[in-house]
Chains A and B, each alone.
Chain A
Amino acid sequence: MARLIPADETGPSALDADVPTYIDRQLASPWGAGAGLYRSGPWQAGKPEQGYQLPFTPAELFRTALGGITEDLRRANRGEFARLRAEDQDAYLRALEGESRDLNGVPSNVFFQSLLEMTIEGYFADPVYGGNKGMTAWSAIGFPGAYANYYELVDQHGIAFRRPPMSLAQDATGTVHVHPPPARPMAPKP
């Protein structure tokens, strides 16, 4: 997380922005359990332009791939990912991205793409979902958020617009009421 979107003077890292919380909650949600995903077989590999053709739900994909990564690192005697040096973490991520290493049935590049997509989502989504903590990612780019009434401003070309971002879940005091975590994790597919 901290390598995919690192911290610097422009804004927080994905870790600082609580993106792991976002990902956990998404994977524990109905979406993570496969809602909105056509899950009938037969399962056949296709061309890349035919899209995702694996039987895993998002939660299964992550669980399986992460298990594969842990094993992979253990087999290579490298210990936990979190303990590697930053450059080594980057190199490992690049390897996952560029190759299609088998992580217990999940090609590493498929997993990496999902991880990267979810990281970007969690970084930039409304904080109601658990990431983008404090809306600092929005502040970094200048996105004003969910309240968006710009009729008077759209033709004031080139203005610098510096309203603090507003979340759809904030109340009058500015507190963002984050969605509670799902009651219990969705049961894994038998």
Chain B
Amino acid sequence: MATARAEADAVLIGVGLVGTLLGRELTKAGLTVVGLERGEPRDTVPDFQGPQMHDELRFAVRQALMQDTARETLTFRHTVRDTALPIRRWASFLPGTGLGGSMVHWNGQTFRFQEDDFRQRTRLVERYGRKFIPDGVTIQDWGVTGAELEPYFDRFEYLLGTSGKAGNLRGRKIAGGNVFEDPRSREYPTPPQKEPYGSAIFRRAAESLGYHPYPQPSCNLSQPYTNPEGLTLKTCTFCGYCERFACEHFAKSTPQTVLLPVVLKDRNFELRTGCNVLRINLDSARRTATGVTYVDAAGREVEQRARLIILGAYALNSVRLLLLSRIGTPYDPTTGRGVVGRNYAYQTMSYPQVFYDESVNINPFMRSGANGTVIADFAGDNFDHGPLGFVGGAYIGEIMTNGRPIGFHPVPPGTPSWGLGWKRAVVRHYNHTSTINVHGSSVATRGNYLDLDPTYRDAWGLPLLRMTFDFPENDLKMSAYVTQKAIDIGRAMGGRLVTGAPRTGPYDITEYQTTHNTGGAIMGTDPSTSVVNRYLQSWDAPNLFVIGASAYPQNASYNPTATLGALAYWAADAIVTKYLKSPGPLMSR
């Protein structure tokens, strides 16, 4: 029998990026807020300190900061014709856990999506005609525009202290920045990070081919920065232990370094860790959420009533919780009806490599998570797709983040996988190789979706989330095209050998690609094709907001986090200025 706790004004499911941001905005608006985080509490001191943090085996290989698959995982299959089997160990993507969520161990790569991404269907039809979008590709407009989100991007970047260089200031294009980006109201809060050697080589090669390289926007800061909340971040030291690791240095923008201390001091905020939410409860009419039921660290079931619920538990977890709570109609790929689980997308990656002469010391260990130089010339719709027959694109860059040897020991194709030949090749090439990232978009399709598995369960006895996904033909075509462009840049980089292959199917869950899982609870203006409206408010329960990359109708070329932060501020703004004043649906169905 669940014990009941006193009702709070708001409850946060998950205290990662979304929970921290919303916790701050809601407590500022005078609400009492309970933040439920199922992971452990943790702080930069002592939990992230070195030298213990610089342990590749523990954090990068054994994934110490990630969710424990022993207790809960996903099942996976390519199509409805297959049987989904459990992902018994993470590989392709690594959902995080713990206070601060994945934003503790992210790389800090901070790109804004473009207007072409937010209004993707409209823009593609305008530009190429209705027939251009391939059959079965279910991309949609988001219901919010880039122009509407600009002030929220700005706010998020200034909270984080993002290091970068503007490419478009209020309409004026600036060489050296991303000249394809939408107009920004002001420059980045801190200048770009220093450029490592391999990235400089990439930049010259890209320039020589007529492209527009610019420094990757980074939340590993280039200089000390005090944000509007009064928290100070330090200069990143390029230690090469960024993604999958926490930062000991106060130099990475994480909830701990940019906002949590302020939230935790607020007497209207109560943090409860070790609390795993099992379901969101609705009233008997099933039109209003009444609160959540969770299991605390001691295994006791607790019911927490709340007037407002913010679900921000990471895209996959949020979708699962909606399905487990039976909120919204689950998506059925055979009929195409239903919404929860629909439009799941990922990221389409490939990695050409340049092998240099031994005299070229790349020093791959002197890197940060978001350093380096990229081009957006082939991202999104920044190039003419007319003759090409696919939609979407990729940004390309030499943005290596580390030289940690268990994971990084590049060898040319044809090298044996073990033995003397392997070892010699590793020693020869370790310090003399650049990897180019081709970071490609992921369209939504009718057949890629999320639902609950019929067979496998988690440690609490609840069905696991089932992922049905394979790379759409469209994205493979896109990858072939853009990877070739990247290889061409690689050839201009002066190595002795350039290798590379586009992404091909089938999707392999055993190979790490990105942890950019999007969709499943997408936003939109039509409740028959979206789970939340343009303010990320549930169509089914107006006092429930589902905030995260689960809202993305499809995934763009860029990394998702900056857009997620902007949407979180956008939703918070709608809640505080509109919803709280007049609770109810913010859009009519």
Contact = CB atoms under 8 A, between A and B. Distances in A.
Contacts, number: 182
Contacts of B55: 126, 128, 146, 168
Interface size of B as a range: 35 or more
Contacts of A140: 427
Question: A52, A93, A97: which has the most chain B beta carbons within 10 Å?
Answer: A52
B83 A52 contact: no
Given A49-B509, A153-B366, A160-B361, A146 B427 contact: no
A124 B405 contact: yes
A39 interface: yes
Given A37-B69, A116-B417, A153-B366, A141 B427 contact: yes
A158 B405 contact: no
Contact of A146 (B51, B82, B237, B426): B51
Interface string A1-29: 00111101011000000000000000000
Contacts of A44: 83, 85
A158 B424 contact: no
A36 B419 contact: no
A40 B457 CA distance: 8
Interface residues of A, number: 62
Interface stretch (B190-198, B210-218, B224-232, B252-260): B190-198
Contacts of B85: 44, 46, 50-51, 53
Contacts of B404: 143
B509 A125 contact: no
Nearest to A157: B197
B508 A49 contact: yes
A126 B56 contact: yes
Given A50-B85, A90-B419, A153-B366, A146 B50 contact: yes
Contacts of B371: 154
Interface string B492-519: 0000000000000011111000000000
Given A36-B63, A151-B235, A141 B405 contact: yes
A149 interface: yes
Given A36-B69, A44-B85, A148-B54, A158 B361 contact: yes
Contacts of B180: none
B68 A36 contact: yes
B455 A42 contact: yes
B587 interface: no
Interface of A: 3-6, 8, 10-11, 31, 34-40, 42, 44, 46-53, 90, 93, 97, 116, 119-121, 124-126, 128-129, 137-138, 140-151, 153-155, 157-161, 166, 168-169
Nearest 3 CB-CB pairings of A with B: A148-B239, A168-B51, A157-B197
